[in-house]
Amino acid sequence: MANALTIAGSDSVGGAGLQADLKAFEALGIHGCTVVTCVTSQNTKSVSSIFPIPQQEVARQIKSVLEDVKLDAVKTGMLFSGETVKTVATLLKGVRAPIVVDPVMVATTGSPLHESGFLEMLITKLIPMSTIVTPNLLEAERMTGIKVKDERSAKRAAAEILEFGPDAVLLKGGHLKTKEATDFLMWDGEILKLSSPRIDADVHGTGCTLASLIAGNLAHGYEIEEAVRISKSMIFKAILSRETVGTGIPCVNPLSILRAEAQKAAVLEDLEVASKALEDIMDSDLIPEVGTNMGYGMLGALEPGEVAAFDGRIVRCGTRAKKVGCARFGASKHVARIVLATSSRDPDIRCAMNVKYSDANVSACRKAKLSVASFERTKEPKGVSSMTWGVLDAIERYGRVPDVIYDKGGMGKEPMIRLLGRSPEDLLLKLKKISVNR
């Protein structure tokens, strides 16, 4: 088992700090060691007190770990004071393992988590020896003096932080006013834009968890770019699965990554159960010429392989529908694109299927009081995925994810209705309404 060390503060509510770090390590199958720098009294609403651990005790904790454990990665979080930064940097000099520095300065609740002298020591002592530093916008602004308000200024700030000496900088741009949550990874003359669907919610512990996931993936041997890519996908799922622990800001859920494996079996089972009802409900007036399929994505799906469908589709058999093959992940890229596009705008909408286009079927959707939107293939830009572009175009013009998105086809393209829902069960209810109102 790989070993990783977190040097951070203790969060009494368990949503951030070393408690979140240990959950992230555990989710990756890594043994976590800890050095406590501060004991905070905080909850999901505020930080009421900070008790810094005396320097000699911080040093003793680090020495105890280093003299016994071969570390595969180190992550630093809340260090609070310049003296602690200096102590940590001095003792980590001989460590031959990736060092991830999360320059914690302010809690999600807005409370300050450092004192005078901290920033100077961080920039001059610890960041120069780090593998990667992971500031958010506020932290980047305080470190560089650059007001980060758009992509251009974000890249300028990242470039300046890189001049401090780390191997790489991940500037977290979640609070930029963009449609997606976009981060900027800069290293070795390269810059990479990493985007994921935006979740409009403040969540406690996201910065700590992301930095720990990166440290964990580096401990597993991934290069910087791949470690960051994997970790960003994982933190997206952890935010989606956030938990309401108290009455304030919800807490990130790093262990949702483990629960995703258990979720896979339930997704496949739900599809198989739905297929029996589909064969009873669908007739030739609802089945497209090319056949159809039902896709169901895992919570937080970002890749086609995280969307399940039937590997032989649903085809016409006489006047009825017949499911061919079994449900499996990655079975249909076509329906997966629809699911991924809709869930990127509303993470709860994770199920989709095609229905035969006709004026009568569109009218039945409206009679069933389903929300209906459409797109025109003639307006499709070159070089884009038709399904992704069309679905997102319809959603953007409608203002939210509707129940139904249709198009009237184009050159060599069959017109189609796409039925969208939260689950296979939800789609079946909508399909029944359409059938009744035809």
Q: 307-319: per-residue pLDDT in tens?
A: 999 998 888 888 8
Angle ∠(389,227,348) on CA atoms, nearest 5: 40
pLDDT at 173: 86
pLDDT at 109: 62
Best CATH choice for the domain 3-254 from the list 3.40.50.740, 3.20.20.210, 3.40.1190.20, 3.40.50.2300: 3.40.1190.20
pLDDT digits (tens, 9 = 90+) for 410-429: 777 889 999 999 999 999 99
- Backbone φ and ψ for 171, nearest 5 degrees, come out as -90, 115
Tell me how long the chain is: 438
pLDDT at 188: 87
186 alpha-carbon distance from chain centroid: 20
Highest mean pLDDT among 33-42, 247-256, 273-282: 33-42
Reported as a pLDDT band with limits 50, 70 and 90, residue 340 is very high
Reported as a pLDDT band with limits 50, 70 and 90, residue 125 is very high
Token digits of residue 320: 């009825």
The CATH 3.40.1190.20 domain(s) of the chain lie at 3-254
Inter-residue contact 302 to 233 (CB < 8 Å):
yes
Cβ burial of 220 (10 Å; 0-12, 13-18, 19+) is middle
Inter-residue contact 214 to 206 (CB < 8 Å):
no
In what helix (H) or strand (E) does residue 277 lie, and over which residues does it extend? helix 256-281
- Taking the C-alpha atoms of residue 241 and residue 257, their distance in angstroms, rounded to an integer, is 9
In what helix (H) or strand (E) does residue 118 lie, and over which residues does it extend? helix 118-121
Find residue 10's DSSP bridge partners.
39
Residue 191 pLDDT > 90, yes or no? yes
pLDDT at 111: 65
pLDDT at 259: 75
Say which amino acid occupies 253. Answer: N
pLDDT at 390: 94
In the chain, what percentage of residues exceed pLDDT 70? 98
pLDDT at 320: 83
pLDDT at 290: 86
Where is pLDDT greater, at 181 or 26? Answer: 26
Mean pLDDT is lowest, of 24-38, 252-266, 281-295, for 252-266
Mean pLDDT is lowest, of 220-234, 253-267, 296-310, for 253-267
Residue 235 pLDDT > 80, yes or no? yes
pLDDT digits (tens, 9 = 90+) for 81-121: 999 999 999 999 989 999 999 999 876 666 667 777 899 99
pLDDT at 283: 87
The arrangement of secondary structure in 262-436, i.e. its CATH architecture, is 3-Layer(aba) Sandwich (3.40)
pLDDT at 110: 64
The CATH 3.40.225.10 domain(s) of the chain lie at 262-436
- Taking the C-alpha atoms of residue 434 and residue 416, their distance in angstroms, rounded to an integer, is 15
Find residue 372's DSSP bridge partners.
404
Q: What is the mean pLDDT of the chain?
A: 92
Q: Which residues contact 382 (CB under 8 A, 6 or more apart)?
A: none
Say which amino acid occupies 224. Answer: I
